[in-house]
Amino acid sequence: MATVLILGASRGIGMEFARQYAAEGHRIIATHRKPEAGETLRALGAKPIVLDMLDEGAVVEFGETMASETIDIAIINAGVAGPRGSALRAPGGLDFDAVMHTNVRAPMQLIPALSPALIAARGKLAVVSSKMGSVSLMTSTASWLYRASKAALNSALKAASLELGPQGVTCIAFHPGWVRTDMGGGSADIDVQSSVSGMRRILAAANDSSNGKFINYNGEQLSW
């Protein structure tokens, strides 16, 4: 039985990670913001913990509580899309802060805080990023704030892989596909079950050679 930590498990991709890992009998620690989500996670067998990624103090405190854990798999999933505006449309300060704090600052706080627990297990760290964060694959400027945040997240994950890889932790940035969730919308390509089972397959097979890679849910390696 593995210990799996899922950050941002209230719905969508995060909740499906909790559901699938719980169904296999793993020990799940799952963070959420709303009480109803906590009840659903508890019913799945997960240990729910309230955590708002925008609350810098709460993220630090949460990291401290994880210091004594041994974590086999940590998945930093929480994310927001922000305004869909394209380049040449300046984002407002509040939007900029909300997207960057959720998608970048919180992961950059959490990765160091979770590192001892991951090193102890020679575990695996995944961030749920997006192909929209790839600079080399960019063909549109829509949602440029979100793109910039996921590019920054990818950079943070790559940097973490250089530190943690030699200490036995495998670090992966995922593109989950275009997934039918609140964020992805109803016309997206794939359902949440297929996205998550694909990423779980990759995590299960991941080894040293997967460290520092950007990987699509279907196993395809993506360029940064």
Ligand X SMILES: NC(=O)c1ccc[n+]([C@@H]2O[C@H](COP(=O)([O-])OP(=O)(O)OC[C@H]3O[C@@H](n4cnc5c(N)ncnc54)[C@H](OP(=O)(O)O)[C@@H]3O)[C@@H](O)[C@H]2O)c1
1 vs 30 by CB, closer to ligand X: 30
Q: CB of 167: closest distance to ligand X in angstroms?
A: 25
Asked if residue 78 binds ligand X (CB under 6 A), the reply is yes
Q: How far is the CB of 54 from ligand X (least distance, A)?
A: 4
E strands in 73-164: 73-76, 124-128
Longest dimension (CA), the chain: 50
List, edge to edge, every strand of the sheet that includes 3-7: 47-50, 27-32, 3-7, 73-76, 124-128, 170-175, 213-216, 221-222
Q: Is 128 in the site for ligand X (CB under 6 A)?
A: yes
Under a CB-based contact definition with an 8 Å cutoff, are residues 1 and 19 in contact? no
Binders of ligand X among residues 40 to 59 (CB under 6 A) are 52-54
How far is Cα of residue 53 from the mean position of the Cα atoms in its chain? 12
C-alpha distance across the termini of the chain, in Å: 33
Considering only 2, 5, 12, 154, the residue that binds ligand X (CB under 6 A) is: 12
Residue 199: CB minimum distance to ligand X, A: 10
CB of 218 to ligand X, least distance (A): 13
Binding site for ligand X (CB under 6 A): 8, 10-14, 33-34, 52-54, 77-80, 102, 128, 130, 176, 178-179, 181-184, 188
